[in-house]
Each structure stands twice: as structure tokens, then as C-alpha cells.
Chains A and B, each alone.
Chain A
Amino acid sequence: MSNIHVTTSINGDPVEFVCAPDEPLLDVLRNRLGLTGVKEGCGTGDCGACSVLVDGRLVCSCLVLGVEAEGAEISTVEGMAEAETLHPLQQAFIDHAALQCGVCTPGILVAAKALLAKNPDPTDEEVRFWLAGNLCRCTGYDKIVRAVQDAAAQMRSA
């Protein structure tokens, strides 16, 4: 099984890596590129902790092969803050204590950002349905929904 050379873009920066043909993008991001914001909760598409954007689409990076990143644009939680300034979603999660252990948080932030790009003024139900593939074992989701709504309101008035 010979490794494959891949040229891609991650959070706006050109990146090259080599990976095995059957290696999930999740493992490439974490183990080869040190982007450990992407988490592995299940490895089978159920928990959403590994959520990233590929060409603007929200996907589970555990269900994408590293080789599929060739020529793609990938966004991870590491690209959300601008230097020292947190993204409004990140700040709202802190303000609302919308996390405890934090394992689900990067995936939820990436997923919530994708939601607000598509629907800047979602209902609570729309937030819950959109995030149904992001499991959280700690918070009970209520604070997550409130944090997303607060960030959405701030982003609408910005």
C-alpha cells in the first residue's frame, strides 16, 4: 500500500501531505498535520466531533478519505478565530458556558458556523435539527442552542 501525495488548502493556506489510500481525513488532520481541534468520537459518522467543511459543505472528516482532499478547500475550527479575536460563536460558547468537557465543541462550532452562513436567523428547532448529528454527552444541548442564537443575533446586527 503505497502512500499518495495530496495537495490541498486548509483554512486558506496551501498544504501538502502524504497519506495511505485508506486513511481517513480525520487521521490526516490530527496525526499528520497537528490540527487536533478535529476530534474523534466514533469514527463512523455518528457523533459529529470530527466535523469540517470540504468545499463549503459540512461533512464528517472520519467519513472522507485523506486522498479525497486533493484540490479541495478544507476549513476546520482552527480557522475560525482571527488572530487573537475569537469568532462570535466561540465567544458566545464561553459566555453561555455551552461546553463542559469540550470534546464536541470544535465540531459544533464548525457546524453552527455553516448553519448561520446558510440561515442567519434560525429557529431553535432549526438549530436542533441542524446539529442533530453533533452529539454532546455533557451539556444537555440547551446552552448550546442559546449560545448559537446569541451569536446569530450578534452577527445579524454586526
Chain B
Amino acid sequence: MQYAKPKTVAEAARLLKDEAGVTRILAGGTDVLVQMKAGMVEPALVVDIKGLPGIREIVAEAGGYRIGACVAGAELGEHAGLKALWPGVVEGAELIGSTQVQGRCTQAGNLCNASPAADSVPALVAAGAVARVIGPDGVRDVAVSDVPVGPGKTSLKKGEFIASIFVPARPDRASDAYLRFIPRTEMDIAVASAAVSLELDGVGMVTAARVALGAVAPTVRLVEAAGAALVGTRLDEAALDALSAACSAACAPIDDKRGTIEFRTHIAGVLAKRAARIAYTRAGGQA
């Protein structure tokens, strides 16, 4: 294995493109090093991108924030501005692993490892976050929802990597929330999860809503019908039931030791309801 720590994005893209063998990007390493240890992957080249300019910074941009690809979970939790604007995005990332894992894990790594249960992804999808991808042919912006294409697979091309993730500006009365179900209280993989992002008008009516589910399909799923069920309501019981039904209808989960198809399908709707209530209260709505 070769290790490289490039100082420019051009050099990083070139190294990744020119290597004929298996490559991995090293951000926090909390997936890569575990997979190397287990013999699941034997990279010919590991490119440590933590030395790239700005890659560890959170910068205010156009009323939102641009989060560098190597900002660790713990650093997101310490950023008051980001937490105030997108609390659900931050709580998703903060649920990854232990304090030790938080010291290293990144949202971009979580996204590109492409686990259907990745905890930071549903809230980013609900937020309409956009990844800035750099590659041998230059720069392009890609919706976070279009990055994972299946378990362990992304739409990124050879030589491409994510440099940052942008979460947009939002109106005053708007917020989001993320919830997952795990059998313990800490340190476990989501059996199902839900993220809800809402915007309200002055009287607490929902004017826009986006709902994303995790661990119930091969990739995180944006459920447009679930968001639509909330728009034009004050989150009354009928709206929440419609949300829950739309979520369950969008589930195509697997059966495994962590949860049955039936359980995952049911619980995804329950989590979406609860997350919607939290987001609504955070946005200033009177539940």
C-alpha cells in the first residue's frame, strides 16, 4: 500500500486517477481502516485528503454553510451557527459512533461509504444539501441524494472526490430533525431512521416539507409524498397519519437479525411522525 497526502486538489485528483489498482480516500478512516483490518479491501493507494486547503473548515456562504469534507462529527457539534440553522443535520452526524469515532468521522466519508443505514445522510437529503465534487475534469455540484447508488456504491467517477457539502439558507421559521431506532442507547447501527425538514408561515402552517428515510431501502430515500402530506397543515393527527402511511409505503427494506421487513416498515413511519413533531417545535410551531 502507498500512502499520499497531497497539498492541492489537482494533485489529489491526479493521484486517484493515475493509480491503476484499488484506491481509497482517507478522511476519518473509521470505515476504511476497519475494512482494511477485516481484509475487505486491500488498497494499492490511500490518499489522505486532510491536507487540502479549507477541507477542515466550516464557512458561511449565501446564508447557509459550506462544510469541508474532513470536518469531524465532533466539530460539527461545536459549531453554534450550523447547529442553529440545521439542528437535524448536526444531530444525524453526531449519532455516528462513540466520542472517539466522533473525533474522526466525516459526513462525506459516511456518504461515500454508502451504507443504507448511514446516519448523517437522511438529514442532508432532507436539507437538499449539495456535494461539491472535484475530479480530473474539474468541479461539479451534485445533490447529496444522487451520490449513493446502492450499498457500498456511489455515482462518483474514478479520480473524483467530495471537497465540501453545502447546506442552504432557510427562512426564519424553519427547522429539521433526525431520529433513528436502535436496540440500545448508543453505539449501534440504525434499524430504520427518518429525517424531516420543515418551513412554516407566520401562523404555523407548513409551507414546505422534505422527508428522507434511512435503512429501509438500498439507499437513503427521499419520500416526496411524505413531505406533501404535511404541506398546508398545522401537523394535525390526520397529516401525521398521512405522513406515516406515505413513509411506510416507500419502504423496501431487508429482513435481517437487526429487524424484520414488517418492523422496519412500521417503525420508519413512527420515526417520521416523531421527527416531524420535533422539527415543527424547533421551527417555532405550537404543537
- List the interface of chain A (C-beta within 8 A of B): 1, 4, 21-22, 24, 43-46, 48, 51, 54, 57-60, 62-65, 67-68, 70, 111, 114-115, 129-134
Contact = CB atoms under 8 A, between A and B. Distances in A.
B29 interface: yes
Interface of B: 1-3, 5, 26, 28-30, 33-34, 36-38, 46, 48, 50, 72, 74, 97-101, 103-104, 185-187
Q: Is the interface of A mostly helix, strand, loop or mixed?
A: mixed
B98 A24 contact: no
A21 B1 CA distance: 7
A87 to B, nearest CB: 19
A65 B72 contact: no
B40 to A, nearest CB: 11
Contact of A63 (B50, B74, B104): B104
Nearest to B72: A57
Contacts of A45: 30, 33-34, 97-98, 100-101
B76 to A, nearest CB: 13
A132 B33 CA distance: 21
Given A63-B30, A132-B187, A21 B2 contact: yes
A63 B106 CA distance: 14
Contact of A64 (B29, B46, B72): B29
B37 A48 contact: no
A37 B103 CA distance: 20
A60 B100 contact: yes
Contacts of B50: 68
A59 B73 CA distance: 12
Contacts of B74: 57
B38 A57 contact: no
